[in-house]
Chains A and B, each alone.
Chain A
Amino acid sequence: MSMSQEKLESFRRAFPPSRGVEEIPGQDIPTFQVERELLPELARRLKDDPDFDFKMLSDVCGVDWPERQARFDVVYHLYSLTHNHRLRLKVPVSEQDAVVPSVYGVWRAADWFEREVFDMFGVRFSGHPNLKRILCHPSFQGHALRKDYDPGQRWLLREGEQDEPSWAREVQEDEDHFETQVLNLGPSHPATHGTLRTVVRLDGEVITRAECEIGYLHRCFEKMSERHTWNQIIPYTDRLNYCSAMMNGVGYALAVEKLLGVEAPPRAQVIRVILSELSRIMDHIVCIGANLNDVGAMTPFLYVYQAREEIYSLLEACAGGRLTISYVRVGGLANDVPEGFEEAVRYLLRRIPPLVDDMERLITENRIFRQRTEGIGKLSAAEAVDWGWTGPCLRASGVPYDVRKTNPYLGYETYDFKVPIATTGDTYARYLVRVEEIRQSLKIVEQALKRLAPGPIITDNHHVALPPKEKVYTEMEALIWHFKLIMEGMKVPKGEVYGFTEGANGELGFYTISDGGGSPYRLHCRPPCFAVFQAYPHMLEGHMIADSIAILGSLNIIAGELDR
């Protein structure tokens, strides 16, 4: 996972402390603090040097330290697909001169991530082609993630002040001297599955330029996290990717557990795997079903949704909720699964494959569907990596990157499953990869079910987990721990960690900083579909307007995760 010693040495030699690169020791990932003047050269070298080969920029985020002279840190997380190593760069800037050179020219993935940092912290990125607010409304005042921003404020945001791309105002003619048309797709369009707005310029029916506006569902998950205790954040994570709520909770809990140094008991881990994989199936079912529905195939959507309905029933029996389940706790799970869990999962294992088979019979080799989707929304492997794509969309372009294989967690290394990839990188390939992933997930669930042994479901560390209720009612000490955990929250040791798991859409990262208190100092979520969706306007150019719907469906944009 981390860089090998000789690679780190060669990095230190190339960028010695005399040049303004300072190593921060004792981190989960090798971390270097970099002077901003050096950043463009450093970024270029890190990407192009085969020794480092950081082709993917996972994440860019900001951190506010109000008491420091250089108030903001801009944090970059880099990943190398070939060496499977990671690197964290921190660029400190002061509030008065909050400008950082943009790395958009090196990694296109920086596009929206840098805009988000600008939106949330007011750090400007020189050389960024389109630096404006992304998640907040253009007339929003202040920068929400600064520590001195009061979240109780209310802003009146008017429709008339809505963001409009500068090119959309220009009158443009095509070669026949007809005026090209500017059209809004969304924000409440039935095919956007959430509120997204895409402004497109149309020449006839062909899109010549596009730009997206997101943030309609923005509620600043990260700011809310800073104001809640570690376990209170679990219900908030459910609302990130609400189609597979379990996996967000697991990803978050694993990041905090990494910081705490605790591990969930084996039974909890197995249950997490089972329910996560079932959630992945559900998420792919939603994605495929909605995508098919958009291009006109209603029937398979209804067939596979039967499976989803029954998975929801299983989750409801375990957690008490269907969509937002809040089942995971830091250190384990909220409750043990009820009786009959194994039989119910076995029933699902019997029930899901015929439904997926039926969908495949109707769709996979269907000539109409193939003609609608083949060659549409094509992205090459190099481009996909450059945009920071992860998950099924990246794998459909031919890059076999799956966190479950490269950095296994929850014992995924012991399960026998394969990572489906396709090489064409178009909408049809993304469909094929998702269908195969459903089958691989079923295989994992089947193996995990055999390992389900009785045991505790949450760690007995009373600094982390609530004591069992029967002790709370009867023992003074347990009541005190219970009281302290509820009123103050668990104390997570000072430090920072980038926890990442394979969500249904790709690498779901939680960059967590603790100052030793009861709630996170900073919690940044790296949403996989944020990176995927930033390529969308660029993919649209040259496509017909009806294709935009097919492409959007295949990317699986979940607005709850995109806008946070």
Chain B
Amino acid sequence: MRNTDVVVCDPKPLRFWQRFYLVEVLKGLGVTLRHFLGNLFGRKYTVTVEWPEVKREYSDRLRGRHVLLTREDGSPRCVACYMCETACPADCIHIEAEEDPTSTVEWEKRPKVFNIDLLRCVFCGLCVDACPKEAIIMTRHHEMAFTGREEAVATIDTLLQKGPIDRIDLGYRPYYGRESRPITLPIPVRVEPAPKAPRPDLAATP
């Protein structure tokens, strides 16, 4: 390696004024005071948010909980080809296939069982990349809490898309010729509307 490629950053000896604590302490206080006032009067650069009242925005590529998309008639797009199960590095997907009786073609498959163990899942998105039918995609839903291991296994009923696609908080999914939302920095936040009334099931319990 040439010497010109190297920059030597050895410690410099303390200068006269630095030997006194007080001057340096005041200079340091100046820095912290600037940050303090900046955070107090303008929160443009503050990266901390007052969660959960305020939430930060994520990009539309966030790899959150999976969703199985449906066709127009409401049947799953999944053809039980086992590609996502094979591609999964965490072995968290379990599929069992059956013959689709409603199909117009012979031997069309559909998933009888489609389980994703969300505690095993590493949310890497390889299942989305592997899917040849754009059946499995990911949403931005990432705040998941379970009370037991069984509850963490998402079955086909919970995974299947409910309602129109524009109602899903879409996350990581295949990209081809689709407009992507530009990156915005500083990190955008959104204020969550406060829950108006206590949840009915909680209110009902005496």
Contact = CB atoms under 8 A, between A and B. Distances in A.
A and B interact physically: yes
Interface of A: 228, 231-236, 299, 303, 305-306, 309-310, 313-314, 316-321, 324, 326, 334-336, 338-341, 343-344, 347-348, 351, 358, 361-362, 365-367, 370, 374, 400-402, 405-406, 418-424, 428-429, 432-433, 435-436, 440, 466, 468-470, 472-473, 479, 482-483, 486-487
Interface stretch (B25-33, B98-106, B153-161, B190-198): B25-33
Nearest 5 A/B pairs, CB to CB:
A340-B182, A317-B59, A320-B61, A235-B124, A339-B182
Interface of B: 1, 4-12, 14-15, 18-19, 21, 24, 27-28, 31-32, 35, 45-47, 58-59, 61-63, 83, 86-87, 89-90, 122-126, 129-130, 132-134, 138, 171-172, 174-177, 179-187
Contacts of A313: 183, 185, 187
B176 to A, nearest CB: 4
Contacts of B129: 334, 466
Contacts of A234: 124
Nearest to A357: B31
B83 A236 contact: no
Contacts of B172: 320
A358 B35 contact: yes
Contacts of A421: 6-9
Contact of B59 (A316, A348, A469): A316
A336 B175 contact: yes
A299 B32 contact: yes
Contacts of A340: 182-184
Contacts of A428: 11
A469 B14 CA distance: 61
A469 B187 contact: no
Contacts, number: 177
A423 B172 CA distance: 47
Nearest to A306: B47
Contacts of B174: 469
Nearest to B4: A418
B61 A486 contact: no
Contacts of A370: 11, 14
A436 B83 contact: no
Given A228-B89, A316-B59, A348-B185, A324 B7 contact: no
A479 B132 CA distance: 7
A44 B87 CA distance: 47
Contacts of B14: 365, 367, 370
